[in-house]
Every structure is written in structure tokens, then in C-alpha cells.
Amino acid sequence: MDQRISFVTLAVGDVARTHAFYVGGLGWVPSTYVEGEVLMIQVGPRLMLSLWDRAAFEAEVGPIASGDGVPPITLAHNVATREEVDGILLRAEEIGAGPLSGGQERDWGGYTGYFADPDGYRWEIAYNPGPIGEVVLP
């Protein structure tokens, strides 16, 4: 098994709401959209983000752990400057993302902040000046 991820799939409560956020709000271009079922967006050279109706997810994968609190995952979107971090967080706020955590300096030398998509999935917007940060930038 090569060290590759091909899809990241997140269970979402309302695919139309998710579409309004990622396509309407962020302006991302879907590869596939089936109303009420799934929205797929290409998010890397060989990588898809699949936002899948929660009921269909549970039918195939199993009942999801629920309760108060955040999902045990974050997705990061890395950029080349602190200013881009702040700009994207501002844009996310404008399209209704929340809650947000404003950009801050991190112990490891970067500068990052978070916003939540409509299902609470956290996106970290990150400036990482180290070697790992360089690997992930376009």
C-alpha cells in the first residue's frame, strides 16, 4: 500500500448547505454534484474532497460518534504569507463560516487560524515557513 490519499470524505448533514458554502461561498468548482447525495471537489493533483450525505455515509461505514465537541480532524490550506492567512479568514467570515479562531503565531514557527464549515469541520489556514511548509505549497 503506497503512502497515498486519493479521497478525503466527510459526512455532511445537508449537501445543499455544503454546496452553498464551498461552491457558492468559496467559489470552488465541483467535479461531481448529485443533489442530496454528494459533492466532490478536486483539491490536489490526485486528490478529491468528497462531501457525502450523512445518512448514506452511515449506511455504508457505520453509525457516527456524536455529541458535543469538534470532529477529530482538521484540513489545512497552506499559503505563502501571514497576510494571506488573515485575508482568507476574513473571506470565510464574510461567507458565514464560524466559529473562527483568528490567526496566531504558533510554537512551531508558523502563523495559523481556523474556520469551521457548516458541519463544524475545521479548516486551518496556515503559513508555515519550514521545510514541510514548502513541500505542500503549489
Binding site for a copy of itself (CB under 8 A): 1-11, 26, 28-29, 31-32, 40-50, 54, 57, 61-78, 88, 91-92, 114, 119, 122, 124-126, 132, 135-138
Peptide bond before residue 118 is cis, with ω within 30 degrees of 0: no
Nearest residue to 12 (alpha-carbon basis) of 56, 68, 62: 56
Q: Which is nearer to a copy of itself, 16 or 64 (CB)?
A: 64
Of 137, 96, 136, the closest CA to residue 115 belongs to 96
Nearest to a copy of itself of 15, 50 (CB atom): 50
Helix (H, G, I), strand (E, B) or coil at 115: strand
Cβ proximity to a copy of itself: between 16 and 75 the closer is 75
Q: How far is the CB of 90 from a copy of itself (least distance, A)?
A: 11
Closest to 39 in 3D by CA, of 74, 11, 66, 72: 11
Nearest approach, Cβ of residue 64 and a copy of itself (Å): 5
